[in-house]
Structure 1
Amino acid sequence: MRTSVVATAGHVDHGKSSLVRALTGRDPDRYAEEKRRGLTIDLGYAWTEVPGGGTVAFVDVPGHERFVPTMLAGVGPVPVVVFVVAADGGWMPQSAEHLAALDALDVRHGLLVITRADLADPAPVREAALAELGRTSLRDVPAVACSAVTGEGLDAVRAALADVLATVPAPDPAAPVRFWVDRSFSVTGAGTVVTGTLPAGTVAVGDELVVGERTVNVRGVQSLERPVERAAGVARVAVNLRGVDRRDVRRGDALLTPGTHVRTDLVDVRVDVRVDVRADVRADPAGLPAELVVHLGSAAVPARVRPLGGPLVRLQLRTPLPLVVGDRLLLRDPARHEVLGPAAVLDVLPPVLRRRGAAAARAATLAEVRGPDLGSELRRRHLVRGRTLRAMGVPVAGEPVAGDWYADPAWWAARRARVPEVVRAYRAANPLHPGPTLEHVRRTLGLPDLGHDTTLVTALVTDPLRVREGRVVERTDDLPPAVERAVAAVLADLSAAPFAAPDVERLRELRLGRSELAAAVRAGRLERVAEGLVLAPGYRDRAVAALRAVPQPFSLSQARQALGTSRRVAVPLLEALDAAGATVRDADDRRRLR
């Protein structure tokens, strides 16, 4: 049976908590002070079965202006709201602030409930409240009046709620988990337990999740106080964690699927700040306060504001948040107790801005961005790993250019076209070298430093170039006929005796001088062991295979006999194996295979 989660919002508890109690038979107020004062000061939870709507969990949020951050922690991950206004109280300033927050969060599914209908005519308040909601994302919600005391209208509330829930799209159970924590406590014998609203994805016993910089394991899962093997969003969930202390995970933290979301303290956004929700008038983002609070999920993080130009702003968060491109943030001015409006996340890994005019240039770059789009990201970043794109929330399609790397097609084609130019320039400056090293090509083309991983540079090399022994060289397979015949004769000799390198006399007989040998080596037809000493390609592997049959460590004489060659060849050949790391030379000049 489907489980849904709704938040109850409105103003200062004029019937809000009473409505939840009447619908569920459970008291959402958990603290004695709340019961004594009749004032919700923290998030409350209750649930019930709604005919036609399945199991419905309620998150009861505070209404008083002093507890707006707590209210936002409750509604942040919840897609449906029951907006409560009292018939005997009417529309209040707190109602307007709650509505502004819900509108900024783009909550579109909900139900307007006029409570305490036994104390006043609900019709005028209903019409006034619908007029307020009509200017926001909740413009199309139905409205019902009821009394939690007499019970009148409660069945209508249940029926209307079931109808609303039937229209809410089901979240993807396979989506990455971002489970916002709203409570954290310890249970004797169980350890740390966190609760929250799971908006999408699935949490299961045995899962490995990430919170902050720490990896934790899911020891147990409960949903609505019942143990389950797995829970899929949207759901109220309690997760028993192994590997973390209660004090190390708090409200505002998020449990994440490893490798998803970017934990960042710097983010570029597009803001939509309203002067007045009712007037639908936008303010200039340049007039934002220098510091504000960013709300997402159950998190509330102070941030410094840097205008970039137009509606584009850079936020420097005091604490990193796990974000993806397309996230919708809520901006609030705590000094004036005012919800400023929403901000759409455009870049979770923005570049540092140092030069004069960099902010304006950045705004121009971001002007085309409307959400997570692979083409847009590649045009701006040129080259990026697939795993980074996925963590940013950008859908990855098509084939990578190399390994897990994706590139903007135009940028990649331009780099590929420059490789022959780099090789020609290097050869002109270094005529004795066959070609530039892969590292030289990488630096010249401005590719990232990947250490020993040469996958990217190698992928840029195409005919008539190739990679040989760590260098980019010209492909010169077509040797002059006379040289080709001479090389073929050498290879025929070596096929019978792989390590009997041709001596000076043989080379002279075949008219293979220094330049001819160099051309054959560049073409990959022969391999140079030492000056004037060549063998067939792959000689190192064949030598290692032959030396495996020799007792370790071995002497030069033993190696010479195993290789079937002379001292003239064995000495430089072993030195080449030493240089390649295939053999290790001991203090007594004996060697052994590594």
Structure 2
Amino acid sequence: MSRHRAVRNLTRDDFDDDFDDDYDARLVQAMLELREIVGDDFDDAELEETLLYYDYSVVKAVRWLLDGVDPDAEPAPKPKAAAPAQKKPAAAAAAAAAAASTAQAQSKNLNKGNAPGTSSPAKSAATTPKKGSGNNSKKNAGSSSSGATTVQAPLNVMQELTAGVKDMRVAAAANSAAASGATTPEPAAPAVSKKRVDIAAEYAQRAAHLNLVMVGHVDAGKSTLTGHLLYQAGVVDDRQMRAYHRDAAKAGKGSFSYAWVMDQNEQERARGVTIDVGVTHLTTPSGRKVTFLDAPGHRDFVPNMIGGAAQADVAVLVVDATPGQVEMGLSEGQTREHLLLVKSLGIPRIVVAVNKMDHPMVNWSRAHFERVRTLLASFMAGIGYNVESHVVFVPTSALAGENLTQRLPHGHVARAWYADQPCLLDVLDTLPIPTRPILKPLRMLVTDSTKGGMASGSVTVWGRIEQGSTQIGDSVMLMPLGQDATVRHIEVKDEAVKWAAAGDHVMVSLAGPDPQQLSAGLVLCARDAPVPVTNRVEAKILVFEPKVPITMGYPVILHQGTLNEPAKNPRVLTKGLDRAR
């Protein structure tokens, strides 16, 4: 058993009556952090006692309370057999029975389930003056008269109590050994109260969740479409939208106001292009939760686009319907590259938003829409997409907000050929939800990290859970660093939750890891099932348009999930798309 059980019912006043304000502040802060992790399973007195014993270490306290593991304990040697008794058998049995009876009576006050206010052996032997009473001495727990002694150090009190409890346990064990004939009794494992969430059951009752990435050529209208859709869906209120309109007009970019919903970075707004992947959420009319990942379209930020697409279940390809734009995007623009990337990243379904249908050169023409559909369908079929079952085409106008969340109204010019057809939000609301591997070991791709954040003394990481699940109090590991951590706080869609599972974009507060070593590309794993680590992979690659031959030693950038790392091609095994390994 751990030494902590010997002082389970002690409070600060049993240790020292002269704690200063620093100690009080540390205890209050540690209590708040510990309460966030363990929830309501333990009362304040027990949390306080545990923190005092472990010198305010929240990590150690969590290990004891949730895992039943004493971080300071050393492996105890197996006790030797007791020496032959010198007393007569009858006298020895009587002495053992008396010792066991005394031990059981005294150990009731040390039981974990004591009601508040139950006195410990130390308190029943002497009354402890409270802080602020002006009395700088207290009675010794082992003294038998009214004579006062000087205050003992907390360590001495703990050692005395530990020894006393050990004697009582030995006496009780001796009685049990006498009855059973055993000579080397093994200590019982400490009982730990855990209140774990049944994630599989909770997940089955939760609303469906879909992650989608917005991709396409630069200036196709991805951010404008996403921002206007969010405004119409009520995610952005009127006051916020008026502010975006005003600020964009002042900057001379009035047509970018809806794009500013997603492009929050000053550099993005000044340049008029998306640089980082923007993340936001909405709830569809059916109750489905949708996470939008707005990826950059400029070729300079393709690595960021890959990081966003790696976290998606579905891609929304936004294309410009004006004459010549689709052809340019497929020949030398990002439309072609983005389609190849989302296919190689394993995204099985694509929704094509044929945007700018309100342009004067298009004017919601069915002929223009069908021309775009034909060009894109031909290319996507060539790279392996089943266009008939896995690709949907929707005409839209991001700037005017037409056919985004509401179907085209009566009298609209396109009603002649697109009457009562689904709007973009209708399509998103009916896409199949992929099966999530929530029962597998935890794997979360880290996209960003920071020191501090949601809980004091911690680090915060962002990312998407690829498989498995996690909940507050879990022991986890950051790979390939091999650093242990404890989950202290979880947020999904800006709301604090007790658990998260595969498919969720989360913000997790961790205790334990070194913030200086954290970076995008790490994998948060279950501690008992870390992800394997390697520095060599064999891959099948698809080359777009190489300007020089790919030979042995060719330098490349390896993208794996959210990780971007320089790599080198040591050798080419085979050549040719049909024979490549």
Higher relative contact order (CA 8 A, sep 6+): 2
Q: What is the TM-score normalised by the length of structure 2?
A: 0.49
Q: What is the TM-score normalised by the length of structure 1?
A: 0.48
Return the index of the structure with the highest Cα Rg.
Answer: 1
